[in-house]
Amino acid sequence: MALVTGASRGIGRAVALALAARGARVVVGYHSRAEAAGAVVAEIAQAGGTACALGGDVARREEADALVAAAQERFGRLDVLVNNAGRTRDGLLLRMGDDAWREVLAADLDGAFYCLRAAARIMLRQRSGRIVNIASVAGTVGNAGQANYSAAKAGLIGLTRAAAAELAPRQITVNAVAPGFIETDMTSALSPAVRQAAAARVPLARFGRPEDVAEAVCYLASPAAAYVTGTVLVVDGGLTMGA
């Protein structure tokens, strides 16, 4: 059974569909897009899978705890947690307000911590589990205009490695996937000129697809990755190789 946060669209949606296609029962976590989450559940059901949608703001500890508890109650156990929920509020460092800083850190880092902690308590009793955090190459090399997002994703990578060390004795793996430029709502808002310039920086000369990230997540959540923990799997078309 897998819980995917922020699964109503983009990378989260692709991850939920891919895990379901591999036989996992999936909880489609969402914050405000109930209708879109329901559409993901319907798509999984149409393909013969099992899923349900559960709402909650993971940036709030009580709601994150409740989401994880409800997911376990719905299917009786929790085998996989994918921390994908997050948001951006871009701006230059000197113009970034405190609210923009705190909102992104709360959603992208605090939320992942709350869900990870709640899931770990369940997985410790099971003596098994897979946790995959969706980070970003912004957390390894930094992005101008994204001090809050880069800091949150760098923190998420640190959280991944610390949690991996703590949970390994109970056969719980914790890994991260760091996407580069992926075709999502966030990148679709870029102007054609900016998109072209960004794609030109990628050795594979294109943006990735959400499905590219989903495949990486499915590997880390699978038995094939039983001996992989504390790692960051970069999915960026070669953008940051050598960085």
Catalytic residue numbers read: 149
Secondary structure (3-state) at 239? coil
CB 124 within 8 A of CB 163: no
Position 238, amino acid: G
Assess contact for 233 and 225: CB atoms under 8 A.
no
- Going from the C-alpha of 210 to that of each of 7, 16, 71, 216, the distances in angstroms are 11, 11, 24, 10
> Do residues 15 and 84 make contact, with C-beta atoms less than 8 angstroms apart?
yes
